[in-house]
A and B are shown apart, each in its own frame.
Chain A
């Protein structure tokens, strides 16, 4: 199953802290030149996976390989220390050495090169992150964004097999974050660097990743390209992780579910099973009710909120159980007013159904 072009392969990793299983059978791979995001809520074990990959944590069970070589496997007692794994690490707090200049920081990992070569490489990498005029500066004199770029340059300078990034943008304020994210992605693409990025931010994962692994409670729940996870979530957790979803409840009868949205096809669900009918706020369309609609649900708008990039509209809906559910709708154009009667429609391909848990 391992391909030579795989920069990093993790197989069946398990890790316990005291009596708690932090990582429970995680397997993932990062191909050469690929940016992979490991995403999940805090405490799901994603950082531990990164530390196991880097060799910073003693592997208890499973196997870590890099470029086809096994670097960690307790079963065969292979344990390559982090300093000999050819990895680059970027941290949330950047971890620049405060007693060294920017140049000194970037040169730190270039021990194999002769001095002249080393200087050349330092300047080259710093130029890539547009920090070449700060070679002599000390980290404390730099802004957060600049520090992040130096940290990236330092990690990339020795040309690591794979770059591991642990929440690398969380330390930056929101306005800066987008810019730095963009720059980082461009740099990784240009160098063809394989990267494994750990983040808790779903938007960041969608933005950065070629492929996403979503983790929960030590396990990978779903993996694939961003669109797959967004549009074809494996369960309700995956669906609601990437953005808010509206949830309606119902019961399967004759392969169909009765819902306020109409009678919906429920393939693959057992007869009599309770299911959750979910759809995203931006999939919903609203139009003013004329009273002669053939399909769609006529509802009364409860309230509207302006968000800058659009509007959020709340409409109360009664689901099949008779419970009141507040459906959230994202609109870009002019919204209806509170109290307006509107027709609510959701395209069938935007509806996903999960068994109720």
Chain B
């Protein structure tokens, strides 16, 4: 075993006949894990193209068009929404000065705490005909039967608004990062050339930030396609709900897999756009030096506009739904002050912790294999394994369940034939299936964190440890892991919270009678028991603040120059 010269350096290619050696254990492990991660998508493809569906033609004639159209409309609406919410907010908080700017800097991340389906429940309760908003308005105008013309929350535009409110932070974060980095090199110049705030935004900041903004939109759209809770609660037929309806409702896994393939086409297009723009975004950063930013001072109406523009997303995306849920939870504590709620809480914690530890371990193996042997094989393995975040939970559910069911049945009949007793449902009856889905979907988060953190450790550390008599595995345990402690904890927390919020895969893959906060919230809300759902929903939001806090701390630490300016 040996270390290559640099993680990014090309591996030595041998001229002529040199000696072939076995790939190292690390390379083999990385490739095996990549195969495991890719398996659900492969199984969807096999299912979709390997068999004929009886109802596929019927679906094409009737509802499939609607599924595609609705998914497309949601994507269009979300694109528009996250752009007009996220980009101006990022520009104002990074490059302008107005009262409350430092508060909005991190507060704009708060809506990430809630999954879209949770605020959808809150808004439905708040804005429905019988909700406090309409009742109050009717009381005000003194007409108990009025205001029939008010728009319905549970609609396609309503779903778009819900998704925009929780997804704009992706665009905000990435746009913010580029605005900060480009500022030093070009914005000062543009100001000395006499650009007004508006024209400097339009002519300099925006074009330079475009790749990052596109990447942010692509990420938001992947999440929008992943959403199942909101659209199913609002009764909108999209590709995501279509998969479940055809599979569970009509009992046709082949047709469901075929719908999943269509959804995957959307997703892979987004993935390609995102990776391409990220590549371009890195060229736009021409400086690594930090200096206090040249901020535009906003006064009067401009300042007021900035405050409203930044406050609105925070209030609508976090404060208002949180207040509604809190009100429900406090008005009826009997729904959550009980053993059942504690059991659900415990389930959520257990499964999230298991998934976080497993995901992190796999990420460490992959990232370390890539560091030790940066070969074509390990690089491809890392790339495959880190594409899982793009696969929607609904697709994962079917991709994980179908092969595991088959495996379970095969295993059960084999043990029956061999030993006369059936082993039972080893994979689908336990936490294995759902954990596997989480691993696939959330590996990216921990992998990119571990990879970035490993990259910061100079290679001489490895070499020093090796020369002092330690093997690669010992070096990992004695040097890298202790140095990366902080990052590992952060990565684990991010995965933990994302698992806790995950709905569609959990709904399908959890063991019988195993309720988590997410599934409990969904079940209660689906039964229109919104007040009862408030307890678990609020718990999700409160735990969801944890990554928001970590993220806001990280972006403050990432920019030492920002400490000095006011």
A residues whose Cβ falls under 8 Å from a Cβ of B: 15-19, 48, 51, 54-58, 60-61, 74, 77, 79, 81-85, 87-89, 91-95, 97-99, 108-109, 111, 151, 154-155, 158, 160, 164
In the assembled complex, how far is the CB of residue B189 from the closest CB belonging to chain A, in whole angstroms? 34
Interchain CA distance A108-B464 in the complex, whole Å: 10
Does B407 have its Cβ within 8 Å of any Cβ on chain A? no
Contact among B13, B466, B469 for A18, CB-based, below 8 A: B13
Distance between Cα atoms of A120 and B482 in the complex (Å): 26
Given A51-B5, A81-B2, CB of A56 within 8 Å of CB of B463: yes
Out of B12, B460, B463, name the residue touching A82 (CB < 8 Å).
Answer: B463
Q: Which of B1, B461, B467 contacts A155 (CB 8 A)?
A: B467
Residue pair B464, A154 in contact (C-beta under 8 Å): yes
Pairs of residues from A and B, 10 with the lowest C-beta to C-beta distance, nearest first: A109-B468, A95-B460, A91-B460, A89-B467, A82-B466, A99-B482, A95-B464, A58-B2, A83-B469, A95-B461
**Which of A56, A155, A164: most chain B CB closer than 10 A?**
A56
Decide if A19 touches B13 in the complex (CB within 8 Å): yes
- In Å, the complex CA distance between A241 and B465 comes to 34
Q: Is the CB of A91 within 8 A of B19?
A: no
The reply to whether A95 and B458 contact each other, CB–CB distance below 8 Å, is yes
> Once the chains are docked, how many angstroms separate the CA of A16 from the CA of B483?
33
Q: What are 29 A-to-B residue pairs whose CB atoms are below 8 Å?
A: A16-B14, A17-B5, A18-B10, A18-B12, A18-B13, A48-B5, A51-B5, A56-B466, A58-B2, A58-B12, A60-B14, A74-B18, A81-B2, A82-B3, A82-B463, A83-B466, A83-B471, A84-B469, A87-B467, A88-B467, A89-B460, A89-B467, A95-B461, A97-B479, A99-B483, A108-B465, A155-B464, A155-B467, A164-B467
B12: min CB distance to chain A, Å? 6
For A59, give the chain B residue with the smallest CB separation: B2
Q: What is the minimal beta-carbon distance from A188 to any residue of chain B, in angstroms? A: 17
* CA of A158 to CA of B468, assembled, Å: 8
Residues of A within 8 A of B10 (CB): 17-18
B248 at interface, CB cutoff 8 A: no
Interface residue? B202 (CB, 8 A): no
Contacts of A109 in B (CB 8 A): 467-469
Q: Which A residues touch B18, using CB under 8 A?
A: 60-61, 74
Interface string of B446-482 (1 = CB under 8 A from A): 0000000000001011011111111100000011001
Interface residues of B in 119-141 (CB under 8 A from A): none
B9 within 8 A of A: yes
10 further contact pairs, Cβ within 8 A, besides A61-B18, A82-B463, A83-B468: A16-B13, A18-B10, A18-B13, A54-B467, A58-B2, A83-B469, A83-B470, A95-B458, A95-B460, A108-B470
Residues from chain A with Cβ under 8 Å of B479 in the complex: 97, 99
What sequence of 0s and 1s flags, for each residue 1-27 of chain B, a beta carbon within 8 Å of any chain A beta carbon?
A: 111110001101111001100000000
Shortest CB-to-CB span from B369 to chain A, Å, is 16
Number of interface residues of B (CB under 8 A): 30
Does A16 contact B463, Cβ atoms closer than 8 Å?
no
CB neighbours (8 Å) of A17 from chain B are 5, 9-10, 12-13
Q: Which residues of A contact B483 (CB under 8 A)?
A: 97-99
Q: How far is the CA of A84 from the CA of B466 in the complex (A)?
A: 9
List the B residue with the shortest CB-CB distance to A84: B469
Q: Tell me the complex Cα distance, A31–B15, Å.
A: 32
Given A91-B464, A95-B460, A56 and B471 contact (CB-CB distance below 8 Å):
no
What is the CA–CA distance of A79 and B21 in the complex, to the nearest angstrom?
11
Give A48's nearest chain B residue, CB to CB. Answer: B5
Give Cα A238–Cα B461 distance, bound, in whole angstroms. 34
* Complex contact A54–B463 (CB within 8 A): yes
Q: How far is the CB of A96 from chain B (nearest CB, A)?
A: 8
Task: Tell me the nearest residue of chain B to A95, going by C-beta.
Answer: B460
Minimum CB–CB distance for B484 against chain A, Å: 10
Chain B residues, Cβ within 8 Å of A88: 467
Pick from B12, B468, B485: contact of A108, CB below 8 A.
Answer: B468
> Distance in Å from the Cβ of A21 to the closest Cβ of chain B?
9
A154, B469: Cα distance in complex, Å: 12
Q: Which A residues touch B482, using CB under 8 A?
A: 99
A98 and B467 alpha carbons, distance in the complex (Å) = 17
Identify the interface centre among B15, B461, B466, B468: most chain A CB within 10 Å of its CB: B468
Residues of A within 8 A of B461 (CB): 95, 97
Taking CB atoms, residues of chain A closer than 8 Å to B458 are: 93, 95
Distance in angstroms from B198 CB to nearest chain A CB is 46
Say yes or no: A81-B471 contact (C-beta < 8 A), given A16-B12, A17-B12, A55-B2. yes
Instruction: From the candidates B1, B464, B485, name the one contacting A89 in the complex (CB within 8 A).
Output: B464
A85 contact set on B, CB distance < 8 A: 467
**Are A91 and B471 in contact, with the CB atoms below 8 A?**
no
| B1 partner residues in chain A, CB cutoff 8 A | 81
What is the bound-complex CA distance between A15 and B9, given in angstroms? 15
